[in-house]
Structures are given as structure tokens and as C-alpha cells.
Amino acid sequence: MYPPGAEVLGDLWRRWRRTRGKPTEVTGTVTQESLNTAWTSFVLRVNVEPNFLETLLLRREADRRAYGLAELMEKVCRLSWDADRGACYAHYLIDCNSCRGYRTARPGRDEMDALVNEMPLSEEERVAIGRLRRAWHPHAQARGLAHS
């Protein structure tokens, strides 16, 4: 089997960096030198460990979908609106990007409690909200934003 071409390898490298929450372009805190080092390490790993891309990259992407804060927020938001709730549970907890984009008012605790009492959470919603709370809690604590 031949190694992937430069363009394909570049796309895979960007995917790999995204799964790790790392930038792929020079920023105020990321230098061209550090990106070159990361690229070289990536190419060396692909050459030494060909299955690395199929196994680790796909697993990391799946983990990020399952446990990443943005992904969990999107899932909770989608589940809330699919259940025809009057508000998104993620918007209540964190201030959901999607709801903010639509200028949806952020519900207060009493409003959210009333909505959940009116229409109890499904098992899928409870699981997703639990994951979102666990993913958000360390960020909230670090910023003094812990929300119950």
C-alpha cells in the first residue's frame, strides 16, 4: 500500500489536530516552527505506524463527538428542540451557541424546571445532559461559573 499524497496527508493532519483541540495555523501563541514540528511528528508516525490513521484518528473523532463540549452542546440542543421544548437545556446550562445565534432568550432555572415538569426528559436527553454537565463542570469551576 502506498502512503497518502501530500494533499490527503495535509487534510488528515488538520483532522488529527482538530481532534486534539489544536490549531492548524499560525496564531499569536502558535508559531510556524511549532506547526512544522507537529507536522514532522505526524508524518513520521504515519510512516512508522500505518494503521495509526485508521485506528487512533477515527477513535479520537468518535470520542470527540461523544464527549466534546461543543458536540455535546449541539446534541442536547437538538434533542431539546426535537422534543418540542420551549427552550434548549444546553442554553439554560451553558448559553448554547446555536440558540444564541437565533437570539433565543436564555431560560432561568424556574422556567427550565417548569418545562421539564411539563414534559419530562427522555432517557437519551438525561444521558446527553449528564455528559454535558460532566464536560462543562471543569471549565465552569476554572472560570467561577459553576452552574447546578
pLDDT in tens, 53-92: 777 777 877 777 666 788 888 899 999 989 988 888 888 8
Q: How far is it, in rounded angstroms, from Cα 71 to Cα 83?
A: 18
Q: Which three cell numbers stand for residue 49?
A: 505506524
Is the pTM of the predicted complex or chain greater than 0.85? no
Alpha-carbon distance of 130 to 128, in angstroms, equals: 5
3-state secondary structure of 109: helix
CA 67 to chain centre: 7
What pLDDT score was predicted for residue 71? 83
Q: Residue 18: pLDDT band by 50, 70, 90 thresholds?
A: confident
First-to-last alpha carbon distance for the chain, in angstroms, is 53
Least confident of 50-64, 90-104, 126-140: 50-64
